[in-house]
Structure 1
Amino acid sequence: MMLPVFRRFIPACFLLLLLHLGAMAQFASRFDVVIDELLPDPTPPVQLPNAEFIELKNVSTTAFNIRNWKLSDGSTTATITTNFILQPDSFVIICANNSAALYAAFGNAIGVSNFPSLNNDADIISLYSSEGKLIHAVAYNNSWYQNAVKSEGGWSLEMIDTKNSCTGMNNWKASPNDSGGSPGKKNDADATNADDQPPALTRTATTDSITISAFFDEPLDSASAATPGNYTINNGMVQPASANIVMPFCTEVVLKLPAALQHKTVYQLKASQVTDCSGNTINQLNTARAGVPAMADSLAVVINEVLFNPRPDGFDYIEIYNRSNNIIDLKQLYVASRNATGQFTGITAVSSVPWLLFPGDYRVLTENRLWLQQQYLVKDPALITELTALPSLPDDKGTIVLLNMQGAVIDELRYDHSWHFALVSEKEGVALERHSYNEPTQLKSNWSSAASTVNYGTPGYPNSQLMADTRLQGQVAVTPAVFSPDNDGFNDFATIGYQLDAPGYVATIRIFDANGRIVRHLVNNASLAATGRFRWDGLDDGLKKLPVGIYIVLTEVFNLQGKTKKFKQVVTLAGRY
């Protein structure tokens, strides 16, 4: 009576064996299996176990045995030693050995030794097949939660559209599941989120005179990205000799050039016919500047704007500007402050990776990019560098030092809160702006409050109080003829510029009202360079506002040879302030 059962049992076992062997024989391609959920910070737990996990999903139509597949964070690699057939459209939870029993209640769970510790703030996790082929990689950070509360811990990160697995932050969010995540099943965040945007060439870096690294905003198709003919360089360079895509994220392409780039030359790199991993082709007009960086010397890059007293719960920022003709690598620059004995403290690298600052470029340094964009108009977010920590910037006064990689001082600012526009009653959230790139950094009259019309800050674009460096029509000139000190960013100051026949003069500048009374002793026996400028803010000696009207600016200069000169100009103080 057992024979029929036995006969039925053999074909069933044979079929299972065939299915198992079939899965063993299949080789996965990139994106066949994806990391679609992970829990980097399980504390405090919501309703999930207080343990990290990584979930894999098979998005292909083929089953795979994931034995000997590997998960790595770059420093630690875990190997899956369990025979497990991951069926199409199914999930498996990977966690540490001591957490496997906890997650088995949620679905298929496999414990591994050396489970890579998932950093709370940011990490790179890569999945490799048993043959060592990269299948998927994720480079997450706190901003991927898109939820400030959930980013504090206890909630998983979920991929939104697993058919769009090569997209980064825009395809991830904090789990909407009330338990804190959805391990072992379809993500609660699951939705259609197709990638229909073409890739963009965002910037370049230069490791040497014949090597350019081109960076894109999303992963590329490796075949199109590695085609040298898809890149052209102007100024006689034409095309690179080779192109190699950098794994695991395929957002960087290293181009080897047939000839060396020239110093102090800005090149334009153009990419064409390059596609992303979703098949979108790059736009035709897609270029990025390239060039050979030089060591920054004194005042090649200057401190241009600083917010040292932000609004409550806010963050400081420092803006720098490349006023030279050289290309500067931000990786070779550092910001610091000084302690009471003058020693450097809080030395911080401006960039952890090569990043080119071209002539005329701005760069904004802050600890919180999102806050900066919420508080001020940021015309180009790509100009913001988010650092783990800035040097200490006290609210009353402090020092900011810009250093090159040799430790030489490039620029230094010893700021003081008294440099703000006197009539700005609330100075929290008001940035100090530099007036001229070419005037001395430490000149008090070269700084003032950012205008109210720009919400008191201009991070990443020309300052609201920027003054043009124009040639004087005479030895002393007062401009503009009419000014209105209302801090709206338009003609807020009267500038007394001078251009003398030699340095070594001493100047005294006084302001008189229309009745001939002295209202402001602006400058008293100041030593002059051959050229320079002073600024009048429309206030009297008591730093109180003066009435609108006509005023006389009397400038008297003399030198040790007994040469004296007097200059008298009329200026009109206008408007309400």
Structure 2
Amino acid sequence: MKKLLLLLLLLGTLSATAQLNDTFADGNFTQNPAWTGDAAAFQVNAALQLQTNGAATTGTELQLITPCAAATGTTWEFWANLKLATSSGNYADVWLMADQPDLKASGTKGYFVRLGGTPDEVALFRKDATGSPVYVVNGQDATLSSTNNNLVRVRVTRSVQNVWTLERDLTGNATYVSEGSATDATHQRSGYVGVYATYSAANNRAFYFDDFRVTDATAPLLMQAVATAPRQLTLTFNEAVAATQSAASYRLSTGNPAVTAAARDAADFTLVHLTLAADLPLGSLTVEVRNVTDAFGNVAAGTLTATLQNNGFAVPPGLNQLLITEIMADETPVMGLPTSEFVEIHNPSATAVIDLGGVRLLKPGNTGNPAVFPSGAVLLPGEYAVVCGSTRTAQFAAFGKVFGLTNFPSLSNAADQLVLRGKDGRVLFEVSYADTWYKDNRKKEGGWTLEMLDTANPCAGIENWTASTDASGGTPDRSNSVRATNPDRTAPALLRALALNATTVRLYFGEKLDSVAVANAALYTLAPAATILRAVPVGPDFRLVDLTLAAPLVQNQPFTLTAQRALDCVGNASGPATSATFALPAPVAVGDVVINEILFNPRMGGVDFVEILNRSGKFLDVQGWQLGNEKPDSSVDTEPVSSGPVLLPPGGLLALTTRPDIVQQQYPTSTESAHLLQLPALPTFPDDAGSVVLFDAQGRRLDRFVYSDKQHLKLLDNVEGVSLERIRATGPSEAGNFHSAASSVGYATPGRPNSQQQPDVTGTGVLMLEPEIFTPDDDGQQDFTTLDYQLDGPGYAGSVTIYDAQGRLARRLVRNETLAAKGFWQWDGLTDRGQKASVGYYVLHIELFRPSSGQKREYRKTVVVGARQ
């Protein structure tokens, strides 16, 4: 056998270099090369063959390995004799490629030839990190069928095209018979070759191996080139290359920039890193390689080339460096775009390539997994891309770049919030849209996208978005149809401050802030003086800033918070100072807060609202309060006012509604947006009559008002969109203390003082009439008169009858009404027939009767019904 091997060596290709050659002719396996593993269980016998000599124990596993990096363009040869009957427990594996020096480990990857096993075969297998070995070439069964002499010589070749050929000679010579060929490129790197044997007790010395030879006679091939930095290229070869690399062997086909250094990777010998003298140019580039040598001395003839597309070195985006510029939330009816929700993203930079890998698209508050952009995804300078669900990608393929993401969020038609977060969790972009942003009642019904006007003003809301004007309904993957210059020149306003607890104060601003600039605690001061330890902007929209105080606040003690030069996210400064008053809230008591205004019959497209008034001297927190509708059966449907803290200062107003944007749109000149509080839902308030109830967090009823459309001014032709307003803050929550809002303010004052409010009368006397001249025209100026009474105690009944100057009956205003000690009546200038009283003098005849004593009093007051010229 040794002579045969010598002959084979002489006949081998002269240029072939053996990477491993061991005949054990030196009588050992510990050097030239060194085999390691279960060394005590192997020996080199008298015939100079490697033989097992392990424990005579069934199930024993033995291994020996030696380093070898040959992987492609390689031939492996070895001789073996299994002097036993092979079976599932008696076989040998000769590993041609292994990635780690432990053939017994389940995670070892590579290729091996199995001798024996249940099929008694010679077969080539691939082993992955998980799972059982799989066939590459399935050899003929019963090839090794002897019970005591299974002699075989094996040759395996792997071409540079990853074609494997398995051959064997059952005489142990070199007249090979093919077992088959197959292509497999799964594993490209190797660290070791080795032998593995498992046996039953009687076969512990029955495995013989010899004549190992691994030959790589092929030059390396260049597989790919990748730009990993502006001045860095990484080249991948099909096999390990020589440790020493020369920069002179590498160049770009254009000649520039020059390669200044070339180095083989310290861990992966198939990689070479090139350093360039200048930044890579954009576009298609070709790398040329000459005279490169593999780890075994084979030199590539001619020039090797690889082409790459350099779109620039992708960088992770920062705040507002990746934008959502178009939103399709309601895709039906179809105007011309696919029937699918989508958003459009945009890279506003003229030079930077954005790395989207790991960027997340999500809706805050959703409990499911976010949509995540895949590794390697990029957005070129100025480029747009459609983002949609993973099953909708094909629908948008014709438009340009598309990212179909798993877990793409469902977009609400009416209103929603979308956030882009970097893979490090930082907020990149946030938008909270609503269907009012369309500014077109027809388009908001579906089929049209919302488009951003000015990408240089990314923090703006409704003022920088509108409905697409493109005939197809939108402009996915291209500039928006409404694109225009629309800069933000408005400084950020501090709307309010709120003590979340004794040591935390939250500031609410009117627009998105520069989260870095406003995180400076030195920008904020308190009066009376208190130390502020830190300031933390609250994402994802950065309209809030939380301040941490060094000492706890005292309940109901007012403080004034001043913010110096707050910056919005485009750099507008608030000026020298902007301030707000707050206090740590005190407990609420029954009567502290009353229902101040209610809109129960809104205009077409409008929504209800209920306004509450804090008529106490305390700072109150409405968190946990409930707003309800009491039904005729006395059951109450309630909805939460706020799940989070909301401060209601002394004299403060809050208008509660589901759509502050719609309320503000329908009452643009009489709404105070800072005093509108959005609720997820309102109780259902009937358009004709109902009862609104307010409860505190403990379920105590704070106030109740029974309303009816009959309480509106009879002169109004249409009461849709007209609210009922409280007249006097301290008065009762009864019909007589409410009046239709004035026409001069648009028929409602959500978040603002009521148009029909009157101050409480503080004078003395039994009866006071104010004003003595009034004009019932619903213009908000002396629309009605009030008759206040101050009695010496309870127990009176009262009647009020109104006569004109000729003594004719005009109105029976009050009939035998039980009276409190103090109160008032209002006359809206209408007669009993519901007609406006004629201009002139009128006499109010007041009768007071005390049944307990029989005491009766009569009074007369004169009033003038006027008219404006």
| TM-score normalised by L of structure 1 | 0.88
The aligned runs of 1:154-193 (5 Å cut-off) are 154-193=447-486
Report the secondary structure of 2:690's partner residue.
strand
Query: Partners of 2:615 and 2:451 in 1: how far apart?
Result: 45
- SS for the counterpart of 2:391 is helix
Cα contact 1:476–1:567 (8 A) shared by 2: no
Quote the residue 2:600 is aligned against: 308
The CA deviation string for residues 272-306 of structure 1, in whole angstroms up to 9 with x for no partner, is 13222222222224122322233433222211222
1:45 aligns with 2:334: yes
Paired with 2:252 and 2:374, the residues of 1 have a C-alpha distance of: 33
Tell me the matched-pair count: 570
Contact 1:224 1:230 in 2 (8 A): no
Shift, 1:375, TM fit: 4.6
Please tell me whether the aligned partners of residues 35 and 54 of structure 1 are also in contact (alpha carbons under 8 angstroms): yes
Cα distance in 2 for residues equivalent to 1:280 and 1:566:
68
The question of whether the paired residues in 2 share the 8 Å contact of 1:472 and 1:498 is answered with: no
Query: For residue 619 of structure 2, what is the aligned residue in structure 1?
Result: 327
1:256, distance to aligned residue in structure 2 (A): 0.6
Matched residue SS, 2:420: strand
Aligned to 2:696: 404
Residue correspondence of structure 1 range 286-297 to structure 2 within 5 A: 286-297=578-589
SS at match of 1:103: helix
Could you say which residue in structure 1 is the equivalent of 2:687?
395
Q: Which runs of structure 2 are paired with 1:349-428 in the superposition (5 Å)?
A: 349-351=640-642, 353-369=644-660, 371-373=662-664, 375-376=666-667, 377-387=669-679, 389-428=681-720
Q: What whole-Å deviation, never above 9, does each CA across 1:340-381 have from its counterpart, x for those lacking one?
A: 210002x22334543322221222234554554455442423
Q: How does 1:80-479 map to 2 (within 5 A)?
A: 80-237=373-530, 239-312=531-604, 314-345=606-637, 347-351=638-642, 353-369=644-660, 371-373=662-664, 375-376=666-667, 377-387=669-679, 389-442=681-734, 444-479=735-770
Contact 1:554 1:566 in 2 (8 A): no
Q: Distance in 2 between matches of 1:302 and 1:7?
A: 79
1:229-263: CA deviation from partner (whole Å, max 9, x where unpaired): 101121232x4111111222222111011222232
The secondary structure found in structure 1 opposite 2:393 is helix
Q: d(CA) in 2 for partners of 1:92 and 1:487?
A: 55
Shift, 1:403, TM fit: 1.6
Measured after TM superposition, the shift of residue 212 of structure 1 is: 0.9
Secondary structure of 1:181's counterpart equals coil
Structure with more strand by fraction: 2
Match among 341, 348, 354 for residue 64 of structure 1: 354
Which amino acid is 1:245 matched to?
Answer: P
- Larger radius of gyration, structure 1 or 2? 2
Alignment of 1:503-514 (within 5 A): 503-512=794-803, 514=805
Closer, same or farther: CA 14–101 of 1 in aligned 2, 3 Å: farther
Distance 1:559 1:104, change over 3 A: same
Cα deviation, 1:213-242, whole Å, max 9, x if unaligned, reads 1122222222221110101121232x4111
SS at match of 2:398: coil
CA contact (8 A) 2:327 2:451 kept: yes
Deviation of residue 520 (structure 1)? 4.7
Match of 1:31 in 2: 320
Query: Bigger CA drift: 432-441 or 525-534?
Result: 525-534
1:166 and 1:94 mapped to 2: Cα distance?
20
Whether the 8 Å contact between 1:129 and 1:135 is mirrored in structure 2 is: yes
Bigger mean CA offset, 215-224 vs 131-140: 131-140
Query: 1:9-32 CA distances to partner (integer Å, 9 max, x unpaired)?
Result: 434998966947x725x3433222
In the other structure, the counterpart of 1:573 is 864
Stretches of structure 1 that go unaligned for 5 or more consecutive residues are: 1-5
Name the CA distance, whole Å, in 2 between partners of 1:81 and 1:370. 37
CA shift, 1:50, in A, is: 1.7
For 1:148-177, what per-residue CA distance to the aligned partner results, in whole angstroms no more than 9, with x for missing partners?
322222222322222332333332222222
What secondary structure is seen at the aligned counterpart in 2 of 1:10? strand
Name the CA shift for 1:474/1:283 in 2 (closer, same or farther; >3 Å).
Answer: same
> How large is the Cα RMSD of the aligned pairs?
3.2
Aligned partner (choices 497, 501, 507) of residue 792 of structure 2:
501
1:481–1:57 CA distance, 2 compared to 1 (3 A):
closer
Aligned mates of 2:854, 2:845 — CA distance in 1: 17
Q: Which moved more, 1:134-143 or 1:306-315?
A: 306-315
For 1:326 and 1:358, how far apart are their aligned partners in 2?
7
Structure 1 counterpart of 2:848: 557
Residue identity opposite 2:820 in structure 1: A
Task: Tell me what 2:372 maps to.
Answer: 79
Classify the secondary structure of the residue corresponding to 1:215: strand
Q: 2:606, 2:416 → 1: CA distance? A: 26
Distance 1:473 1:139 in 2: 55
- Secondary structure of the 2:404 match is strand
Distance 1:58 1:125 in 2: 17
Q: Structure 1's 258 and 574: CA in aligned 2 closer, same or farther, altered over 3 A?
A: same
SS where residue 332 of structure 1 aligns?
coil
Aligned residues of 2:357 and 2:375 also touching (Cα < 8 A): yes
Which whole-Å CA distance do the structure 2 matches of 1:427 and 1:171 have between them?
A: 34
Contact kept in structure 1, 2:670 and 2:748, CA below 8 Å: no
More helix by share: 1
Q: Which runs of 5+ in 2 are unaligned?
A: 1-250, 254-285, 290-303
Q: 1:542 to 1:271 in 2, by over 3 A?
A: same
- The code of the aligned residue for 2:670 comes to V
CA spacing shift, 1:488–1:240, aligned 2, 3 Å: same
Tell me the percent identity.
37
Report the residue type matching 2:597 in the other structure: E
CA contact (8 A) 1:365 1:386 kept: yes
Paired position in structure 1 for 2:270: none
Structure 2: distance between partners of 1:301 and 1:576: 36
Q: For residue 39 of structure 2, what is the aligned residue in structure 1?
A: none
Q: Distance in 1 between matches of 2:426 and 2:807?
A: 85
DSSP 3-state at the match of 2:736: helix
1:91 and 1:341, CA in 2 relative to 1: closer, same or farther beyond 3 A?
same
Alpha carbons of 1:482 and 1:155: their partners in 2 closer, same or farther (altered >3 Å)? closer
